[in-house]
Structure 1
Amino acid sequence: MKINYPIAIVTLSSIFASGILGYASWSLLREEMKPTYAVQSPLRKAYDRCYPSTRGRPVEEEKVDFDGATYWEIRTKPLPGKHKSDFVHLKTAQNECTWLNRNRSTFRLDYLPKSVALEFPKQRYKSLSDRCIEAAKKLKAKDPQKSCITYLENFFSGSEIEPTIFFPEEVEALSDLGVNPNQIKNWKLIKDSSQL
C-alpha cells in the first residue's frame, strides 16, 4: 500500500491543531469554573457555595466582619449582553451563607446593618484617597490632602445628562474623608430603595 505523504501530513496537522484548540477551550472553561480561591477556609467554602450562578465572576470584593459574621460586597463582571456589572452582597457565618440582595435592588441600608453599609464605601473611598495622596506626594504637591479632596470632588462629579448617584452611606463616607458633597457637581442622592 502506497502512502500519500502530503495528505497524511495535512490530516495529522489538522488532528493536532484540533487537539490544541480543544485543549485551549477546555482550559478556559476549567479556569472559569474553578472555585474563587484555591485555599478554602470554611467561610470561603460557604461563600463559593452560595455565590449566585446568575451573576458574572467576581472582579472586586470587599469584606467586613461584624457581630460574628462576614459581610461581602462583590462587584461582578458584566454578563454577556449586559454593559454594567452588578453588586452581590453575601453574609457568611460558620458554614452558612446568605445572598442578601437576591431579587432586590442594591440599596445597602435595606438589608445590611448600618455600620456595615457605611464600612463598604469607606473602604473603597479611603483606598482611592490614599492612592491619590501618595501620588500627590510623589508629585510634590504643596498640600496633598487638599489636592486629593479637590480631585475626588471632580472625580465624582456627574454630567447634566447622567448625574452621579450616591446613597446616604456613600455621602457620609465621603464627608468623613473631608470631601464636601456640595462641591461635587451634578449628583443625585437616592434616600431609599423606592427611588430606584
Structure 2
Amino acid sequence: MITEDTIVSMSEEIKTFCVRLFPRSWSVTHTSFEIAELEMNRNKIVFGKAHHCGKIQISNIYVGTDCYSALKSTLIHEFSHLIVGLKENHNSRFKRIFEYLSDKAEMDTAAILKDHDVLRGKANAIKPCTLQLWMVFQNGDTEFVGNYQKRSKKYTAYDPSVRNLQYKGKLIDRFYYTESPTNDSSQSIQQ
C-alpha cells in the first residue's frame, strides 16, 4: 500500500533518475538540485502539478492504493514539466522528454491505465461524476469519452479550426456534455 512516505521516497528516486539523465540546468529551477519540495494535496481530479518554483504537488488520492505505476508516471510527468519549463505545457518538446524518461524508467502503459481506473473510481466514490462527455466526429459519428464532475472549457470552447484533434484517425468536430444517468464511473455508453 502506498503511504505518504512512499510518495516522498519515490519522488526522490525519480528526481535522482531525472538529474542523472538531465544533469544540466532545468528550465524551471535553473539548477536541477534546487528541486526539493514535494507537497501533498487533496485534489481528486488533478493527480500532480508542477510549479515555477520547482515544487511538485501530488494528490493524496494515491495513499491507501497499490497504484505504483500511476504514481511513478505522474512523478515523471511533473518532473518533465520542470525539465522543459511550464510554459512548454504539453507541446512536442515536453512529450519527447516525457516519453524518453518513461522509456528509460520502463513504464508499463497497461498498468498505468489500470491504476488510473482505480484512482478515478476512488475519486468518484468521494465526489461522484454527474456528467458524461461525448465527442462528435466530422463524419457525424458520436463516441463516449468518459464521466466527469464538471464541464471544462477545453471541451465546451473546442474549435476545430484552431485545434484539430483526432481520435482513431477521425477528426473531432465538437464535444458535448449530457447528464449521467448513473454515478457508476465504470459504465461506458456508446451511441
Same fold (TM over 0.5): no
In proportion to residue count, which structure has more helix? Answer: 1
TM-score normalised by the chain length of structure 2: 0.32
Give the structure, 1 or 2, with the largest relative contact order (CA under 8 Å, sep 6 or more): 2
Considering only CA atoms, is the larger Rg found in Structure 1 or Structure 2?
Answer: 1
